[in-house]
Structure 1
Amino acid sequence: MSKFNGEAGAGLVFMILYLGVFLWLLFAYATHRIKWRSRWSMLFFHVVVRLASQACAIGFAILGFSNTNMFLAFLILGAEGYFTLVLCTFRFVISWHQHNLPGGVSWLEPRRGAGPILDQRARTRRTLAFLFLGPFALLMYRDNVMAAFHVLLILANTAIIVGGSFLAGADLVQFDSADTQRRLRISRSARTAGQSVFLGCNAALLIIILVTMRNDHRSPVRKSGVHPALMLLLLAWMPLIVRGSFGVIQSADFELSYYNFHNYGPNGFTAHYTLVEYLMGVMTEWLACVLLCCTYFTSKSDPPKSEIMPQVEGESAELQEQGGHGNR
């Protein structure tokens, strides 16, 4: 008989914690403390995905294997939550650049209107280059590093979802069968590759944050220390790298896999597996999310984004001297 158990309790705890972040973001939107067209929208989307994931986790814990669709939804939404959080952290770094660097332009991503005006053919050519060449497109377009990260993260996210879905049809009762072993190898390879790309992007994110902190410390504008928002971004990176490392280990080691039947009891995950999953997978994401939220308080005095004059192709870029109001 279905009942509320420890796994459902853990899911409920983090659902309440994410609900707190969700309500704070709604309050900030309603009172115009933050704007929809800003970095906060990506964080809001992450929180919504995580709330849905936790709801599915609670449902699976209560219903058990009588509803496997709930379990698959939990896996997919969990992967999407991590994907959106990594992408969101990059957006927070870019936003800091746009508010604090001279000229208001990030060296990771050009602002819309900052570069030369491209015709439709040029825009299509650039999009296809990043789509098919990935990071190698930077050899042609060095002004948009973030586009390469977008492509890598999307491909990695796809590999994780496909790898998980591929093993969903395996007969784990006949674990030693040739078909199950083949599915296991393919799934493990795809998920490990995807998680490794996420981990690599996290490592690159650390370098980006440290370079930004060094440049900020050397800036003549900064009288002492480093901007506190950058310190929070560095702190947020720490649980992210733990989450990324756990993702790689979980994909490569079948002992920690969702598809290892030894990790399940009569009604869902075992107590040990629930503890490991929520400590290493869910709590790390929630901590990073909260630390990103805290940057609101450290960025209140940041200057607004500078308004950028559209640049005619062939002419040098020109910034307006008077900054406009940007999204905090």
Structure 2
Amino acid sequence: MPGFTGEAGAALAFLIGYLAIFVWMLFLFLTQRIKWASRYTLLFFHVTIRVASQACGIGFGILGFTNTNLFLAFLILSAEGYFSLVLCAFRFLISWQQHNLLSGQSWLEPPDPPNTNRSRRFFAFLFLGPFAFILYPRNPMVGLHSALLLANVCIIIGGSYLAGADYSDPDLPDTKRRLQISKITRTTGQSVFLLGNALLLVLILATMRNNRRDGDSRSKTGTIHPTLWLLLLAWFPLIVRGVFGILQAAVYSLSYFNPANYRASGFTHRFTIIEYLLGVLTEWLACVILNLTFFTSMRDPKRVKLQNGDEGAGDHGLAHPHKNQVAI
């Protein structure tokens, strides 16, 4: 009999948490404290996805398996939420470099050289995926973004492939085949995300080391910008979420598709606690910490957009707008 379950209560709690972030970010956008064409737009997209995901979680917690479409929507939106959050962390690091490095550029995503054929580059990325880095080695983030996108596709395919399985009899050959294929694809996708998180730590630590040595927009050396400390702090819940993603894909007892994790009304209490502590809470914490960079970056200089192939002020002076540059 459908009713308000512990899972619906957990989903409601995090729906309120994400709605609070949603209202906060919308206020910043509407008051023009942050721009729509900024790193915060991707973070706002993550929050929007998570609001929808938690709403589906409430519906599934109340209706149970009388409406399996809500369950599938919850799974897909949850995967998209994690994917967008990992991208957010990289975009925030790149943005910090563009605003604070003395060159005015990010060495993770340098500006395009003059006369770059963007249509050709787009199709190269579309068909080659992460291997497009071979043709465009000056932009390493393109390969990483493509790899994360392919990993996301693997996770969605793995989850969707199990939708038609008969879980009343896990020993059926078709069910076993679906479980095995899904395990491979989902574990592969989650492994790429975990490697991306490991790489993120290396990049954050390298940026912090360079910041201490070379200084930043504050004209200080020997210290580390507070935004970088927040990015490092946000990495910890992200890596926990990444490890949990691997375990959930590879260990059947933690899988969404293990019948032992369900009652007639939905998730068991044990599975609900594990899912919301390691899956949802970690993402919410990382999202909150990334939002806090609004306060630590308020005094950062405006980003300098280079035109006509200019390469900025070089490695030894802070880039400032001139006749070929537009400050944004």
Q: TM-score, normalised by structure 2?
A: 0.93
Partner residue in 2 for 1:250: 248
Partner residue in 2 for 1:162: 157
Partner residue in 1 for 2:145: 150
Q: Which secondary structure does the structure 2 equivalent of 1:193 belong to?
A: helix
| Aligned length, in residue pairs | 317
Partner residue in 1 for 2:70: 70
Q: Which secondary structure does the structure 1 equivalent of 2:2 belong to?
A: coil
Cα deviation per residue 1:95-124 (whole Å; 9 max; x = unaligned)? 10110012321111134xx52122xxx334
Q: Which amino acid letter does the alignment assign opposite residue 126 of structure 2?
A: L
Residue pair 2:183, 2:249 contacting (<8 A) in 1 also: yes
Residue pair 1:53, 1:73 contacting (<8 A) in 2 also: yes
Give every structure 1 segment of 4 or more consecutive aligned residues whose post-TM-superposition deviation is greater than 4 Å.
none
Q: How many Å separate the matches in 1 of 2:312 and 2:290? A: 32
Partner residue in 2 for 1:203: 198
Q: How many Å separate the matches in 2 of 1:186 and 1:151? A: 22
Cα deviation per residue 1:142-190 (whole Å; 9 max; x = unaligned)? 2211111111011000000000010110001121011100000000000
Cα deviation per residue 1:281-309 (whole Å; 9 max; x = unaligned)? 00000000000000000001111112312
Q: How many Å separate the matches in 2 of 1:137 and 1:170? A: 36
Q: How many Å separate the matches in 2 of 1:218 and 1:318? A: 21
Q: Which amino acid letter does the alignment assign opposite residue 100 of structure 2?
A: N
Deviates more, 1:89-98 or 1:221-230: 221-230
Residue pair 1:103, 1:306 contacting (<8 A) in 2 also: no
1:96-115 counterparts in 2 under 5 A?
96-111=96-111, 115=113
Partner residue in 1 for 2:124: 129
1:6-21 counterparts in 2 under 5 A?
6-21=6-21
Q: How many Å separate the matches in 1 of 2:136 and 2:173? A: 46
Q: Which amino acid letter does the alignment assign opposite residue 322 of structure 1?
A: P
CA RMSD of aligned residues (A): 1.5
Q: CA deviation at 1:233?
A: 0.2
Q: Which amino acid letter does the alignment assign opposite residue 221 of structure 2?
A: K
Q: How many Å separate the matches in 2 of 1:31 and 1:317? A: 33
- Unmatched segments (≥5 aa) in structure 2: 314-318
Q: Which amino acid letter does the alignment assign opposite residue 225 of structure 1?
A: T
Q: Percent identity?
A: 57
Q: Which secondary structure does the structure 2 equivalent of 1:217 belong to?
A: helix
Q: Which secondary structure does the structure 2 equivalent of 1:104 belong to?
A: coil
Q: Which secondary structure does the structure 2 equivalent of 1:276 belong to?
A: helix
Partner residue in 1 for 2:316: none
- Unmatched segments (≥5 aa) in structure 1: none
Partner residue in 2 for 1:223: 221
Residue pair 1:309, 1:318 contacting (<8 A) in 2 also: no
